[in-house]
């Protein structure tokens, strides 16, 4: 997990070093790589495929991977600032 985090940080750092205003080309590039939007796929595989054998991923696997990958309480706007119960 620690190695995964370092890997993710390295990717983010590289992204910031090359950051610029979005062009249509960049927008299109992002749209063409939807795998960026399903880290559950990656995380679940990291849990179940350690033996190297291809396998199926269940929703429970994804929930487990997500809980293990959680980085702590986020800084974010609270729902109470947006909505009233």
Partner 1 sequence: MSRAVAAPADRALLPLDQYTSEKGRELGRKYAEELRALASGIYHCLPWLEVTEHSLGFYRPKHLGGGDSRYLSMRVFIEQEASPDFARLTVANQAAAMYARYVAALLKRMARSQALTADPGVEGFTIILEWLKQSVRAASDRPIHETVAVFVDKASALDFLAGRITPRALADRADIRLWDGETSLENLRLTRLPEDDFVSTYRMKNYQLDPGVTCP
Shortest reach from residue 58's CB to partner 1, in Å? 5
The encoded tokens of residue 45 equal 């595989």
> Which residues, 6 or more positions from 57, have their beta carbon under 8 angstroms from its beta carbon?
40, 41, 44, 45, 48
Shortest reach from residue 60's CB to partner 1, in Å? 8
| CA-based nearest residue to 43, from 33, 35, 31 | 35
Shortest reach from residue 14's CB to partner 1, in Å? 6
What are the residues binding partner 1 (CB under 8 A)?
5, 8-9, 11-16, 18-22, 26-27, 29-31, 33-42, 45, 54-60, 62-63, 66, 71-79, 81-85
């Amino acid at each position: 997990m620690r190695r995964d985090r370092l890997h993710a940080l390295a990717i983010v750092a590289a992204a910031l070093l090359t950051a610029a205003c979005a062009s249509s080309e960049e927008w299109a590039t992002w749209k063409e790589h939807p795998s960026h939007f399903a880290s559950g796929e990656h995380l679940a595989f990291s849990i179940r495929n350690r033996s190297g054998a291809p396998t199926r991923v269940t929703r429970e696997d994804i929930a487990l991977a997500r809980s293990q990958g959680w980085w702590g309480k986020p800084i974010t706007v609270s729902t109470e600032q947006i909505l009233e119960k």
